[in-house]
Amino acid sequence: MPHTLTKRHHNHILAKERHTRYLNSFSVYPKTRFESQNDDEHIILLLRAHPITFIPWIATAVGAFFLPILLNFILPEFLTVAQVLFLNVFWYSGLITYVFLNILLWLFNVGIVTDQRVLDVDYFNIIQKSVNATTLEEVSDVGAKTNGFIRSLFNYGDVLVQTAGPASDIDFRAVPQPAEVVSIINEMMH
């Protein structure tokens, strides 16, 4: 049986209207669909990891970008120009792939809260995917955890959705506004 929005919750969401924040990491009523969405099901929240989580892989990519430039002063003494050129092309192709895969993994690892279900879609690589879903009736508890100075400063954290049924617990990692996510899911449960 589909979960209907309470008048209070519906007004709460409509007061905020449709909006997105943090490079589409926190979207309320997004204009999108997902592959197993029912015709009468509406997306309330679409969540991705906070963009601040890009810093580690971007720093790695920047360091990896400059490494061959430094090595190009040393390698010509040991290798031919063609070999150095090949190594540079190979290195930067791998670097572009690394950046592209990190962007794809961020884009497709999503948490979805609808008016009927809570879903967590996790890609471990581009060919391995895990989808955990539970109905709102099976949700027993929702909590948020924000540890550390950086997470508190940028207001992001983990949201854990515990289920009473056979479905496994759902966790949204490093999402923006975790307290607001918990509030919306709690209102959807009641």
Q: What is the CATH number of the domain that holds 138?
A: 2.30.29
Position 19 in a domain: yes
* pLDDT for the residue numbered 166: 76
Q: Is residue 120 located within the same domain as residue 182? A: yes
Looking at the domain assignment, is residue 2 inside a domain?
no
What single letter denotes the amino acid at residue 17?
A: E
Dihedral sign, Cα of residue 14, residue 16, residue 21, residue 26: negative
**56 falls in which pLDDT band (50, 70, 90)?**
very high
- 144 and 167 together in one domain: yes
Residues 6+ apart with CB under 8 A from 91: 64, 67, 68
Q: What 3-state DSSP class applies to 158?
A: strand
122, 157: one domain: yes
Same structural domain, 133 and 116? yes
**Confidence class of residue 142 from pLDDT cuts 50, 70 and 90?**
very high
- Output the pTM of the full model: 0.84
Domain end point (choices 103, 127, 142): 103
Q: Is residue 1 part of a domain?
A: no
Q: Is residue 40 located within the same domain as residue 120?
A: yes
**pLDDT exceeds 60 at position 120:** yes
- Are 71 and 98 in a shared domain? yes
Question: 136 and 45: one domain?
Answer: yes
Query: Is residue 146 a part of any domain in this protein?
Result: yes
The pLDDT tens digits for 88-108 are: 999 999 999 999 999 999 999
Look at residue 121 and tell me whether its pLDDT is greater than 90.
yes
Domain identity same for 45 and 59: no
Kindly state whether residues 160 and 125 are assigned to the same domain.
yes
Question: Between vectors from CA 23 to CA 63 and to CA 135, what angle results, nearest 5°?
Answer: 115
Q: Are 189 and 136 in contact (CB under 8 A)?
A: yes
- Looking at the fold, whether 22 and 66 belong to one and the same domain comes out as no
Cα distance between residue 55 and residue 174, in whole Å: 13
Which residue intervals of the chain are DSSP H helices?
7-16, 55-71, 81-108, 149-154, 178-189
Does an H or E element contain 139, and which?
strand 139-145
Cα R_g (the chain), whole angstroms? 21
Domain that holds residue 92: 55-103
* Model pLDDT, residue 66: 96
11 and 97 share one domain: no
Report whether pLDDT(3) > 50.
no
Same domain, 27 and 114: yes
Total number of domains in the chain: 2
